[in-house]
Amino acid sequence: MVSEIGIVIIEYLKWFKGVIFLFIDIFYWIVFGPFKGKFSRRQSIFQQMVFVGLRSIIIVVFVDIFTGIVLAMQTAYQLQKMGAVLYVASLVAISLCRELSPVLTALVVAGRAGSAISAELGTMKVTEQIEALETMAINPTRFLVVPRFLALLLMLPALTILGNLAGILGGYLVGTGSLHINPDLYMQTTFKYLELKDIYTGLIKSFAFGMIIALIGCYEGLNTRGGAEGVGKATTRSVVISFILIILVDCIITAIFYFSKI
């Protein structure tokens, strides 16, 4: 029993060590590699930005706008009892910008783009395409991982901002349509209590989430074993681990901002 627990702990430590080393390697090639030399990856970075960002817009907007609608209806139910239904506007905006939009957007992107990255790299690994790159003296991290990392790092905050706007629009539709709040008064209340801190808190979270999705997806893909079955397992692990780390890091960042009063 003790030996089995020890084996599990050692495996987790090896996994954590591998992720840290991959992050260091990514940072090195971001500084010295992606736009320099024979194998410049400008085009690949923009292609990944299109895949991660533009092609995720519809589902992100869909999720966040309906989250705003549901949040407005649920909070209005309680606020109507206190005669404070007008404050639905500020509550929806602050909740979305600080918490819901960054987390939901990250979960959507992790499920869509993170799994695709893991499956793509995993397929390349089991078909020995990664080894072929190394044989040609092309660093896989520079060639494959860095473009995906940068794309997620740039596009996830942009998607989060779009999600904020979509969620606020969802709340606006409920507030003006069902709750009969004056449209101008609704928007004034929204931005009266929405502070810059609420926005940059969510953006800081989205940067962290983008790094998590890219790191986990790329690491699991590059360490895939066992053919097609291994690709499926790596993809599943990538999504599950990304979801867990997103929620964990969200809790940590929220606690930092709460206790530090930044």
> How many other CB atoms are found less than 10 A from the CB of residue 219?
23
pLDDT tens for each residue of 24-44: 888 888 887 655 554 456 678
pLDDT tens for each residue of 85-108: 888 888 889 999 999 999 999 999
- For the chain, the structural domain boundaries read 42-260
What is the band of 261 on the pLDDT scale with cuts at 50, 70, 90? low
Query: Distance between CA 39 and CA 134 in Å, rounded?
Result: 13
What is the band of 227 on the pLDDT scale with cuts at 50, 70, 90? confident
pTM over 0.85: yes
What integer pLDDT is reported at residue 47 of this predicted model? 86
Burial code of 10-23, b = ≥16 C-beta within 10 A, e = fewer? Answer: eeeeeeeeebeebb
